[in-house]
Structure 1
Amino acid sequence: MDYLKSVVPSQLVSERGSNLVIINPGSANVRIGLAKQDTPFNVPHCIARHTTIIGKPNLLDQMINTQVTTTSQQVDRERAFNTKTASLLKIPYLDGSSSFGSRKTARIDGYNQPSTNTKKDTAFPWTDVFEDEPSSLPTSETSAHRSEDNADRAAPDVTDSGESKRKYRNMIFGEEAMRISPKEPYTIHRPIRRGHFNVSPQYSAQQVCEDLVAIWDWVLLDKLEIAHSERNKYSAVLVVPGTFDSREIKELLTIVLRDLCFSSAVVHQEGLSTIFGNGLSTACIVNMGAQTSAVVCIEDGVSLPNTEKILRFGGDDICRCLLWIQRHYQNWPQLRTDVLAKPIDMLMLNRLKESYCEIREGEVETAATVYSYEDGMPAVAHKTNLTSLNVPPMGLFYPNLLVPELFPQPPRTWFQDHENMLEETWNMDFGGGNMGLPVWDSFAVSPLNPKKEEKIGLAEAITSSILSAGRIDLQRKLFSSIQLVGGVGLTKGLVSAVEERVLHAIPPTEAIDTVEVLPSKMDPTFVSWKGGAVCSTFLHLFMSMILGILDFGREAWIHRNEWMENGIRVGSAKKYRDSYYIQAQAFCFINS
């Protein structure tokens, strides 16, 4: 214990973090890496499987579950723009009218000059879907041959000797999967959507889990180079989003321990990992991902479940809004851009969003290059002038701009199986003492039904969350300790917009006059992942230790056979309840 009081986190990571894998699953991306790394591998959370079934949709989950934008949703979107956003940002209305006189324009700094970052103006290549084969070509020629566009080879070649055609790759992962031409015989699966397992009548729970195993196993093998035979030397930390239900967490633990063969595992909630990653103990965490945003308040390292707000919009919706606003202003070329049917179009829009979107007054515009991707043909560049680039991120405050219903949450029937993970299976008399007392009765356990999503904007969600915390002293501290994390947290101008709009959202009857967003000590995209290594077991001793690297009491460990037979059971008569009570207690599971 004296050593733990004196050791610095970096020293602890160096000594014990080389065999600890941190896994932070999200809807659009999964972040996986060793605790000793500064940043993880950030991989699109999708897998493309080769299919021989003619007519099978190339996007299983999206093509079947996606709804069409209704007229009322379109009207609501235009009303949100004209009555709210246009006035606030001092830009022309959609119908061309404006009360601001001459059109005020503001070019994005640095973007009116030739860009030194050529990545913004580079097309994404189509993925080569064929397996490598022996070749007599020199290495450089072989690489060049594999990089040729699929259109240059209309069909797999058949050799003169009658050899079979080139063989398709069975599975393709990550960004490569998103760059597969729609004409190729592949079906793309996304196992997590809108913060939940993407279970539906067309996408079974078993298939979802198998896809998760395949994606994560590929990252471990291809990126981290951890072979199956070496997995028993590694432990895993699961940093789970606040949107996940208890059954989803249980399935992830089974995947990590049974299928990926880690020796042990520990679960931590994303919000808690965030504050530990930034060295805080009390804060309002605003995690803005690709498809969901979550707000939760944390006091002294303990999550306050009544403050949690789940918002069903994120960075992907901002991308779609970017496309919508350009088409309305007729600035988008006549392209068949479809972010739902062609994932490669989403990659392009996401790059444009990250490069050019920001929040500030005036007409924010820039010259840019967009691409058309047509059925495996080479990408065609189109120069255009993107305008109103400050509108899409304002959808965070006015969700009607984003029309999140276009990409709804998966059906929830899978979770109505009455498998109560919160059951007091250990609550019995073991021959004396207090072992049979319901020690969890003092906690407000969350219900098993799916977590309620809020149909409000970000400012209202933050305000409502903090005001739900109770005490005025805690509320004041939380309003001055807001943390913006997730990829959307990098949006330029978002900090000042959140401070201003949250301040205006506070009712005048509340004695609050200060709102402050604290700067993140690291990339907001990865702070939750990094925080997964921060100590919570010894929270009262020091706040910035690396979680999962510390030694835990032997009574906290469980053998693999107990996990598989009895579910979640933690030593000392403690049982994992749900994600709210991960808190400062590390729950570990060990393979035998």
Structure 2
Amino acid sequence: MVGKKSGKALRDEGLERTDNNMELSSWPQIPAINQKNYYTDYLKRDDQYLAFRLQNEEARTKMTKSAKDKDRALAMAKSNEGGDVEAEAEADGDANMEDAEEVPAETVGSKVIIIHIGSQNLRIGLASDALPKTVPMVIARKSKTSESEDREEPKPKRQKRDDDTPEEPENLFGEEWSSHFSQMSGDLKVHMRQNKRRMLPNSKEMVVNYNRRTNPEIISEHNDPLRVDWTELSNPPPEYIIGQAALRVPDSSNPRYKLYWPIRHGWCNERDYHSKRMLFLDISLILEDAIKTQLGLTSKKDWHQYSCVFVIPDLYEKSYVNQVLEMLMREFAFARVCFIQESLAATFGAGFTSACVVDVGAEKTSICCVEEGMCVENSRVNLKMGGRDVTETFIKMMLHDHFPYADIDLWRRYDWLLAEELKKNICTMNEASVSPQVFDFHLRVSGQDTVKHTFKAFDEVHLAPMGFFEPTLFDNEDKLKGRRKLIEPSFDIYDGSKNDPTSAAQSEIMTALAPPLPPNEKADGDAPVATAEVQATPSKPQPPSALGRIQEQEATPRSSVAGSPAPEAAGTPQAGGSTPAVPAPTSQPARTSIEYRDDILPVFALDNAILTSIAHAARSDEKKMRDFIGGIMIVGGGSLTSGLNLFLEERLQMLRPGFAKDIMIGVPPREMDPQVVVWKGASIFGKLSGTNDSWIGKLEYDRLGHRLMAYKCMWAY
């Protein structure tokens, strides 16, 4: 056994330990975590988010400032004790009172701009204003040709024979459309006889014969008291013209101008634009011009003192909202920005706590149930039809009945304005007003004499707005053109799925309208969807819809959105029917794939869409069902059609006889214009500075960008 070596021996051999008690590394040694007691509160408290920290800091700053002001006032009061000092203080106080009287206090909301963008009109104003300013949401840009010269076919589209000769008026729009129109006319006659309304048996022939033989009257321009002031081009002509002045630029101007509508059918207009940058540039130019001309804020340097409330759709697209937020914060440099949904703003404007809001716009109809200041997410419905469809359908019906102005073309600006005026003055949903009547209109064209036309109309004035309940009557062919050409949907940064807001009511409607997919075809990257899953057949029972479940509980007739399927093409709308046959919705995984399909146009009967929305909002709760069905409020420009409320009530009562006594269609209170209710509600929301925590400031946006929306919105963004 070898003995232990001495220290001298180790040193001689170079093996002596020379450790100076230093660690092997200078990095700190972290002990292992005890897994039994592991806990962290990272991002679990509100005060750890920047948005909430800044709010708390602002509140503390205000509290500190008020405390200092109070201490300063007390100190001043103590120092003013004494005769001469008090007299001087009183004199100073009187002088300050006079100065205060000269400088008026700032009105609440005078520094808040409210913006509501629609497909046809922009409504803008200060929150302190009683009513907004309305500007057409259009811009005219220099071009080689006008929009009417670009189109090969007039609007509405006519059919021609093989020898290029025009068809007879009765066959202008095809046999299928004519038969549908004739069927609706016959149904209206039957309904009017059931309601004991007298009508002449040959009313239609009287109208056609009168329109055939009527002759126009020429009125010289200097004898026309209501002649139009056309937009005169300066020298040099401007690059673009905005708003009402753009609509009054003559079609034959030199140089030519082409109209662009940045918003179409509630979506960004991707069909008429070639780049996303130009699309949002036109939106910013229209907003900038409106702020300068309508609000009088001509200097951009003053805009940083103003806040902005922006109204967005209930079913919005995140890419659009993010782009608008960047525009308002970067280009316009507003101090603060917040967003509010249309239906919630409508309830603010009307003063309702709960309601089913039906917003009928120019090219979009949205339905949403609002409960206690929140939009019920699964009740949101967005339909791509509105007042413009009624205008075009009315002109088609009049042309079918030998309208004296047979060359009308809605691509021409003066013709479109004329058609809009005729629709507003003539169309009605009141059956008592349906009779052969004589009307007249004045055709005013730049550089030509005014032409006065006289014509007769019968049931066209009623059947055109009936298109809301017979959507196959509208021309829906071009509404999906260009969709997703410029703007991609928003995707989740973690799993790559689409994360635009969804709604169970919208999914049910889209499922009803979806044509069957070929077997094993994937929809938007999801799992394969078989034809049987999309198209309900009698052989395969499907789970009932939300509306159907409630009807079964009440044992009421199933004449609703969840009707029995058609024998063969259950998933597709019927060409000649009033309402497309609607199968029961598929299971939840298939709904998502159908909702995101961009080849399905959401155009559906208005009464069935309302009942679908309410059914998903009530969630089988009968009390909620009665509350919503008794609190339906129609707003928007399309709701101005005379008699629409009573007609819609009657339709809903026929579909839901169990709730006939509860159904009530309300109008905005205090005789408020239905077109401005949404804007008015947003202005009220903008004045709630003390309780509104959804404002987005510059510092927050600079640091977090549009990610702030998840913390700032009052709904699940």
Q: Would you say same fold, with TM above 0.5?
A: yes
Deviation per residue, 1:147-172 (Å, 9 max, x gap): xxxxxxxxxxxxxxxxxxx3213321
Letter of the structure 1 residue corresponding to residue 405 of structure 2? Q
Paired with 2:681 and 2:477, the residues of 1 have a C-alpha distance of 32
Deviation per residue, 1:94-114 (Å, 9 max, x gap): xxxxx976357999xxxxxxx
Letter of the structure 2 residue corresponding to residue 78 of structure 1? S
2:706 maps to 568
Paired with 2:154 and 2:339, the residues of 1 have a C-alpha distance of 31
Paired with 1:326 and 1:196, the residues of 2 have a C-alpha distance of 30
Measure how far apart 1:337 and its partner are: 1.3
Matched, 1:178 2:241: no
Work out which of the residue numbers 513, 518, 543 in structure 1 matches 2:666.
518
2:96 maps to none
Q: Superposed, which structure 2 residues align to 1:6-85 within 5 Å?
A: 15-51=107-143, 54=144, 56-58=145-147, 74-85=174-185
Paired with 1:40 and 1:62, the residues of 2 have a C-alpha distance of 35
Deviation per residue, 1:370-409 (Å, 9 max, x gap): 3445575344332323332122111111112222335556
Work out which of the residue numbers 233, 257, 260 in structure 2 matches 1:130.
233
Confirm or deny: 8 A CA contact 2:156 2:392 kept in the other structure: no
Measure how far apart 1:555 and its partner are: 7.6
Measure how far apart 1:355 and its partner are: 1.5
Measure how far apart 1:201 and its partner are: 7.4
Work out which of the residue numbers 430, 451, 475 in structure 1 matches 2:625.
475
Confirm or deny: 8 A CA contact 1:89 1:360 kept in the other structure: no
Q: Classify the secondary structure of the residue corresponding to 1:172.
A: strand
Deviation per residue, 1:214-239 (Å, 9 max, x gap): 11111111111112121112111111
Measure how far apart 1:493 and its partner are: 0.6
Q: Percent identity at matched positions?
A: 25
Matched, 1:531 2:681: yes
Q: Superposed, which structure 2 residues align to 1:243-258 within 5 Å?
A: 243-258=315-330
Paired with 1:101 and 1:367, the residues of 2 have a C-alpha distance of 15
Paired with 2:385 and 2:150, the residues of 1 have a C-alpha distance of 18
Confirm or deny: 8 A CA contact 2:260 2:272 kept in the other structure: no
Matched, 1:416 2:488: yes
Paired with 1:374 and 1:325, the residues of 2 have a C-alpha distance of 23
Confirm or deny: 8 A CA contact 1:291 1:317 kept in the other structure: yes
Measure how far apart 1:455 and its partner are: 3.0
Matched, 1:345 2:415: yes
Confirm or deny: 8 A CA contact 1:126 1:181 kept in the other structure: no
1:319 maps to 391
Paired with 2:712 and 2:592, the residues of 1 have a C-alpha distance of 13
Measure how far apart 1:568 and its partner are: 2.0
- Rate the CA distance shift 1:101–1:226 in 2: closer, same or farther, 3 A: closer
Letter of the structure 1 residue corresponding to residue 336 of structure 2? S
Measure how far apart 1:25 and its partner are: 0.3
Confirm or deny: 8 A CA contact 2:367 2:381 kept in the other structure: yes
Work out which of the residue numbers 347, 354, 360 in structure 1 matches 2:430.
360
Work out which of the residue numbers 458, 477, 497 in structure 1 matches 2:606.
458
Paired with 1:58 and 1:78, the residues of 2 have a C-alpha distance of 28
Paired with 1:529 and 1:488, the residues of 2 have a C-alpha distance of 16
Work out which of the residue numbers 102, 122, 138 in structure 1 matches 2:201.
102
Paired with 2:292 and 2:641, the residues of 1 have a C-alpha distance of 33
Measure how far apart 1:209 and its partner are: 0.6
Measure how far apart 1:266 and its partner are: 0.8
Letter of the structure 2 residue corresponding to residue 102 of structure 1? P
- For structure 2, the residue ranges without an aligned partner over 5 or more in a row are 1-58, 60-104, 160-170, 193-197, 208-223, 497-588
Confirm or deny: 8 A CA contact 2:359 2:365 kept in the other structure: yes
Measure how far apart 1:559 and its partner are: 4.1
Paired with 2:685 and 2:139, the residues of 1 have a C-alpha distance of 30
Matched, 1:495 2:645: yes
Confirm or deny: 8 A CA contact 1:17 1:35 kept in the other structure: yes
- Say which structure is richer in helix: 2
Measure how far apart 1:20 and its partner are: 1.2
Letter of the structure 1 residue corresponding to residue 415 of structure 2? D
Q: Superposed, which structure 2 residues align to 1:32-431 within 5 Å?
A: 32-51=124-143, 54=144, 56-58=145-147, 74-88=174-188, 102-103=201-202, 125=228, 127-131=230-234, 166-184=235-253, 185-200=256-271, 202-227=273-298, 228-330=300-402, 332-339=403-410, 341-361=411-431, 363-372=434-443, 376-388=447-459, 389-408=461-480, 410-416=482-488, 418-420=490-492
- Rate the CA distance shift 1:104–1:64 in 2: closer, same or farther, 3 A: closer
Paired with 1:211 and 1:59, the residues of 2 have a C-alpha distance of 20
Paired with 1:299 and 1:523, the residues of 2 have a C-alpha distance of 23
Measure how far apart 1:212 and its partner are: 0.7
TM-score, L = length of structure 1: 0.72
Letter of the structure 1 residue corresponding to residue 228 of structure 2? P
Farther-moved stretch of structure 1 (379-388 vs 229-238): 379-388
For the pair shown, the structure with the greater C-alpha radius of gyration is 2
Confirm or deny: 8 A CA contact 1:129 1:169 kept in the other structure: no
Paired with 2:259 and 2:699, the residues of 1 have a C-alpha distance of 34
Paired with 2:493 and 2:225, the residues of 1 have a C-alpha distance of 49
Measure how far apart 1:527 and its partner are: 0.2
Confirm or deny: 8 A CA contact 1:336 1:372 kept in the other structure: no
Letter of the structure 2 residue corresponding to residue 130 of structure 1? L
- Rate the CA distance shift 1:21–1:90 in 2: closer, same or farther, 3 A: farther
Q: Classify the secondary structure of the residue corresponding to 1:351.
A: helix
Paired with 1:60 and 1:197, the residues of 2 have a C-alpha distance of 24
Paired with 1:422 and 1:356, the residues of 2 have a C-alpha distance of 54
Measure how far apart 1:576 and its partner are: 5.4
Letter of the structure 2 residue corresponding to residue 176 of structure 1? A
Deviation per residue, 1:19-67 (Å, 9 max, x gap): 111111000111111112222111111001123xx3x453699889999
Measure how far apart 1:188 and its partner are: 1.2
Confirm or deny: 8 A CA contact 2:442 2:453 kept in the other structure: yes
